[in-house]
């Protein structure tokens, strides 16, 4: 079993802090980010946009928060893509 990120002990604190300070990082995505293996987390970090990477580098976000934001962003993008594909399929049937 691969080792998960070493943030579990701080997850409760992050959830409590983020409830007030960082509404962009939803709790479910923090939990998902926390459950990733080191390799999975690294892959997600490699896909981060420039702005998110800079915020992480300037220590305005923790690694866990940045990964959670990236997960949320990717889920949103996937949902938009699915909707677009569905529209295209409907146009093709008409």
Q: How far is the C-alpha of 34 from the C-alpha of 42, rounded, in Å?
A: 12
The sign of the dihedral angle between the CA atoms of 30, 34, 35, 36 is positive
Its pTM surpasses 0.85: no
19-61 pLDDT, tens per residue? 544 554 578 899 899 999 999 999 999 998 888 888 888 888 8
65-91 pLDDT, tens per residue? 899 989 999 999 999 999 999 999 888
């Amino acid at each position: 079993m691969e080792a998960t990120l070493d943030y579990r002990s701080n997850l409760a604190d992050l959830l409590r802090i983020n409830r007030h300070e960082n509404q962009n990082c939803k709790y479910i995505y923090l939990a998902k980010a926390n459950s990733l293996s080191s390799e999975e987390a690294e892959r997600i970090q490699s896909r981060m946009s420039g702005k998110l990477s800079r915020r992480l580098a300037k220590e305005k976000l923790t690694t866990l928060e940045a990964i959670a934001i990236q997960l949320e962003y990717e889920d949103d993008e996937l949902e938009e893509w699915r909707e677009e594909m569905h529209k295209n399929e409907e146009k093709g049937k008409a």
